[in-house]
A and B are shown apart, each in its own frame.
Chain A
Amino acid sequence: MRILVADDDELSAEILIQSLRSMNHEVVFASNGAEAWDLLQKEPFRLVILDWMMPEMDGMEVCRSIRAMQANSYTYIMLLTGRTDRKDRLEALEGGADDFLTKPLDNGELVARLNVANRILETEEAVRQTNRELQQARQVEIELGATIQKRLLFRPPPRNINGIETANISIPSQHVDGDFCDYFSHSENLVDVIVGDVMGKGIPAAMVGAGVKSALQRSMISLLTMSPDLELPTPDRLIRSLDEMVCGELISLGTFLTLCYARFDSSTNTMTYVNCGHPKIILWEALTGECKLQDTTNVPLGFSDTESYQQHSANLHPGDLILFYSDGVTDLKMGDGKRLGMVGFADWVHPRGHLPLGDFLEEVTELRREGLTGLVTGDDFTCVVVRYRGDEITHDGSLKLWADSGSLRKVRNYVKSIAADPRLNFTADEVSAILLGVQEAGSNVVRHSRSGHKGVPLEVRASAEGGWFTVELIYPGVHFDPSDAPEPVLDGSKEGGFGISIIKKCVDEVAYTLQGEQNLLTLRKRANV
Chain B
Amino acid sequence: MTITPESIQHGRALVLKVNAESLETDNVAAFRSAMNPLLDKSAHFVIDLSAVEFMDSTGLGAMLSCLRGIKSKGGSLRLCSLSSEVKQLFEMVMMDRVFEIFDTPEAALAK
Beyond A428-B84, A488-B93, whether A502 also contacts B54 by CB under 8 A is no
Q: Inside 8 A of A493's CB, which chain B residues have their CB? A: 68
Shortest beta-carbon distance from A301 to chain B in Å: 44
**Which B residues between 64 and 104 are near A, CB-CB below 8 angstroms?**
64-65, 67-68, 84-85, 88-89, 92-95, 98-99
Contact present for A502 and B93 (CB under 8 Å): yes
Contact present for A432 and B88 (CB under 8 Å): yes
Contact of B24 among A439, A492, A506 (CB under 8 A): A439
Q: Inside 8 A of A406's CB, which chain B residues have their CB? A: 26
Q: Inside 8 A of B60's CB, which chain A residues have their CB? A: 498
Residue of chain B at shortest CB distance from A432: B85
Q: Inside 8 A of A496's CB, which chain B residues have their CB? A: 57-58, 61
Q: Inside 8 A of A428's CB, which chain B residues have their CB? A: 84
Q: Which label, helix, strand, loop or mixed, suits the secondary structure of the A interface?
A: helix
- 1/0 per residue, CB under 8 A from B, across A468-506: the answer is 000000000000000000001011111110110110011
Residue of chain A at shortest CB distance from B67: A492
Contact present for B24 and A490 (CB under 8 Å): no
Contact present for A492 and B26 (CB under 8 Å): no
Beyond A440-B57, A501-B93, whether A409 also contacts B88 by CB under 8 A is no
Contact present for A408 and B98 (CB under 8 Å): no
Q: Which label, helix, strand, loop or mixed, suits the secondary structure of the B interface?
A: helix
Residue of chain B at shortest CB distance from A430: B88
Contact of A502 among B22, B62, B64, B89 (CB under 8 A): B89
Residue of chain B at shortest CB distance from A498: B57
- 1/0 per residue, CB under 8 A from A, across B8-36: the answer is 00000000000000101110000000000
Q: Inside 8 A of B93's CB, which chain A residues have their CB? A: 488, 490, 498, 501-502
Contact present for A443 and B22 (CB under 8 Å): no
A405 interface residue per 8 A CB criterion: yes
CA of A498 to CA of B85 in the docked complex: distance in angstroms?
Answer: 16
Q: Inside 8 A of B84's CB, which chain A residues have their CB? A: 428-429, 432
Contact present for A492 and B88 (CB under 8 Å): no
Shortest beta-carbon distance from A490 to chain B in Å: 5
Q: Inside 8 A of A246's CB, which chain B residues have their CB? A: none
Shortest beta-carbon distance from B103 to chain A in Å: 17
CA of A502 to CA of B62 in the docked complex: distance in angstroms?
Answer: 16
**Which A residues between 44 and 98 are near B, CB-CB below 8 angstroms?**
none
Q: Inside 8 A of B54's CB, which chain A residues have their CB? A: 412, 432, 435-436, 439
Beyond A490-B94, A499-B57, whether A436 also contacts B64 by CB under 8 A is no
Contact present for A492 and B89 (CB under 8 Å): no
Q: Inside 8 A of A502's CB, which chain B residues have their CB? A: 57, 89, 92-93
CA of A498 to CA of B26 in the docked complex: distance in angstroms?
Answer: 17
Beyond A440-B57, A492-B64, A495-B61, whether A408 also contacts B89 by CB under 8 A is no
Contact of B88 among A433, A494, A499 (CB under 8 A): A433
**Which A residues between 384 and 425 are near B, CB-CB below 8 angstroms?**
405-406, 408-409, 412
Most chain-B Cβ atoms within 10 A of its Cβ — which of A433, A447, A495?
A: A495
**Chain A interface (Cβ within 8 Å of chain B)?**
405-406, 408-409, 412, 428-429, 432-433, 435-436, 439-440, 443, 446-447, 488, 490-496, 498-499, 501-502, 505-506
Which 3 pairs show the lowest CB-CB distances between chains A and B?
A492-B98, A495-B61, A432-B85
